Amino acid sequence: MTATTVYSANLAAYSVSANIFAGDTIEFTPNRVSLVNVYAVASAIGIKLTVMADSDVAVQDKEIAFIGTTLDKSAQLVDSFFVGPGTRLSVFLRESANVATTDVYTCLEVIPR
């Protein structure tokens, strides 16, 4: 069964978010190897995304290249990777362009294999 969660964040200039999926059901993967798809869109440039899988960095400070206000999973894939059973996923956003109140929509899709 595929699990998907979308998170909406508003970032201040030069800020870094806490783990945006902390406490969510998708924070820990099922007890099987899973494919994780990361989708994101931001309303301005300069937003960077980091994804941790337990203590491993799966995506590090990757620029969100998609600009807009609507998340479209068919066109806005940032990265994909496999994780082991019961992996904790942590996602952090960083604003690097001195643009206040940037809206960011991030989606994690976990597909057990």
61: region left, alpha or beta (phi > 0 left; psi from -120 to 50 alpha): left
pLDDT of residue 2: 78
3-112 placed in CATH 1.10.490.10: no
- Residue ranges per structural domain of the chain: 3-112
pLDDT of residue 67: 86
pLDDT of residue 99: 82
pLDDT of residue 1: 61
**What is the spatial order of strands in the sheet that 89-95 belongs to?**
56-63, 47-53, 89-95
pLDDT of residue 66: 87
Those residues with Cβ within 8 angstroms of residue 55's Cβ, 6 or more apart along the chain or in another chain: none
pLDDT of residue 101: 64
Structural contact between residues 40 and 64, judged by C-beta atoms closer than 8 angstroms? yes
Mean pLDDT, each 10-residue run in order, the chain (113 residues) = 82 91 92 95 92 96 89 90 96 90 87 92
Q: Is the dihedral of CA 70, 71, 74, 79 positive or negative?
A: positive
Structural contact between residues 36 and 83, judged by C-beta atoms closer than 8 angstroms? yes
